[in-house]
Amino acid sequence: MEYNISNGLELDDNSSIAVIGGGPAGSFFTYFALDFAQRVGIDINIDIYEAKDFTCAGPSGCNHCGGIVSESLIQMLSTEGIVLPANVIQKGIETYTLHLESGTTVIEMPLHEQRIAAVYRGFGPKGAHEDDQESFDNYLLQLCEQKGAQLFIDKVTNLSRTADGIFLKSLKHGEKQYDLVVGAAGLNPKTLKLFKGICPSYLSPETTKTHICEFYLDPEVVNEYFGNSMHVFLLDVPNIKFGALIPKGHYVTLVLLGSNINRDIVKSFLDTKEVRQCFPPDIDLEKIIPCFCFPTINIKAAKSAYSDRVIMIGDSSSSKLYKNGIGSAYITAKAAAKTAVFEGISEKDFKKSYQKVCNELNLDNNIGKGIFALTTIIQKSPLLKKGLHRMVVKEQSQDSEKRRMSSILWDTFTGSAPYTDILKRGLNPLVGSKLILNTIKGTIK
Ligand X SMILES: Cc1cc2nc3c(=O)[nH]c(=O)nc-3n(C[C@H](O)[C@H](O)[C@H](O)COP(=O)(O)OP(=O)(O)OC[C@H]3O[C@@H](n4cnc5c(N)ncnc54)[C@H](O)[C@@H]3O)c2cc1C
Q: How far is CA 354 from the centre of its chain?
A: 20
- Contact by Cβ (8 Å): 249, 90: yes
CB of 286 vs ligand X, minimal distance in Å: 19
- Size of interface with ligand X, in residues (CB under 6 A): 37
Report in angstroms the alpha-carbon separations of 337 from 147, 183, 294: 15, 12, 31
CB of 73 vs ligand X, minimal distance in Å: 7
Nearer to ligand X, 121 or 250 (CB): 121
Pattern 396-435, ligand X, x by CB under 6 A: ----------------------------------------
Nearer to ligand X, 296 or 376 (CB): 296
CB of 23 vs ligand X, minimal distance in Å: 2
Question: Rounded to an integer, what distance in angstroms lies between the CA atom of residue 352 and that of residue 38?
Answer: 23
Contacts of 8 (CB under 8 A, 6+ apart): none
Nearer to ligand X, 107 or 212 (CB): 212
Scanning 14-22, 337-345, 383-391, 399-407 for contacts with ligand X by CB under 6 A, the matching segment is 14-22
Nearer to ligand X, 153 or 393 (CB): 153
Question: Rounded to an integer, what distance in angstroms lies between the CA atom of residue 215 and that of residue 253?
Answer: 6
**Window 256 to 315, contacts with ligand X (CB under 6 A):** 295, 297, 314-315
Question: Rounded to an integer, what distance in angstroms lies between the CA atom of residue 434 and that of residue 414?
Answer: 23
Scanning 22-30, 93-101, 175-183, 335-343 for contacts with ligand X by CB under 6 A, the matching segment is 22-30
Scanning 2-10, 17-25, 348-356, 397-405 for contacts with ligand X by CB under 6 A, the matching segment is 17-25
**Window 80 to 109, contacts with ligand X (CB under 6 A):** none
- Sign of the four-CA dihedral 18, 20, 22, 24: negative
Report in angstroms the alpha-carbon separations of 36 from 31, 73, 342, 391: 9, 20, 8, 48
Nearer to ligand X, 384 or 422 (CB): 422
**Window 45 to 84, contacts with ligand X (CB under 6 A):** 49-52, 63-68
What is the number of other CB atoms lying within 10 angstroms of the CB of residue 147?
Answer: 16
Nearer to ligand X, 45 or 332 (CB): 332
Helices (H) and strands (E) in the chain, counts: 14, 21
Pattern 179-218, ligand X, x by CB under 6 A: -----xxx-x--x------------------x-x------
DSSP β-bridge partners for residue 311: 182, 306
**Window 342 to 381, contacts with ligand X (CB under 6 A):** none
- Sign of the four-CA dihedral 81, 82, 85, 90: negative
**Window 128 to 187, contacts with ligand X (CB under 6 A):** 155-156, 184-186
Among 17, 22, 124, 379, contact with ligand X (rule: CB under 6 A): 22
Pattern 237-256, ligand X, x by CB under 6 A: ------------------x-
Nearer to ligand X, 188 or 229 (CB): 188
Question: Rounded to an integer, what distance in angstroms lies between the CA atom of residue 77 and that of residue 116?
Answer: 13
Nearer to ligand X, 103 or 290 (CB): 290
Q: Helix-strand-coil percent breakdown of the chain, rounded to 5?
A: 40, 25, 35
Contacts of 392 (CB under 8 A, 6+ apart): 98, 105, 107, 405, 406, 409
- Sign of the four-CA dihedral 63, 321, 182, 34: positive
Among 17, 18, 19, 20, contact with ligand X (rule: CB under 6 A): 20
Pattern 314-333, ligand X, x by CB under 6 A: xx---x----xxxx-x----
CB of 224 vs ligand X, minimal distance in Å: 23
The CA-based angle 353-358-362, given to 5 degrees, is 150
Q: DSSP secondary structure string, 373-406?
A: HHHHHHHH-HHHHHHHHHHHHHHTTS-GGG-HHH
Give me the residue whose beta carbon is nearest to ligand X: 325
CB of 434 vs ligand X, minimal distance in Å: 30
Nearer to ligand X, 137 or 395 (CB): 137
Among 18, 19, 21, 334, contact with ligand X (rule: CB under 6 A): 21
What is the number of other CB atoms lying within 10 angstroms of the CB of residue 377?
Answer: 10
What is the number of other CB atoms lying within 10 angstroms of the CB of residue 284?
Answer: 8
Look at residue 154 and give its three-state secondary structure. Answer: coil
Residues that bind ligand X (CB under 6 A): 20-26, 49-52, 63-68, 155-156, 184-186, 188, 191, 210, 212, 255, 295, 297, 314-315, 319, 324-327, 329
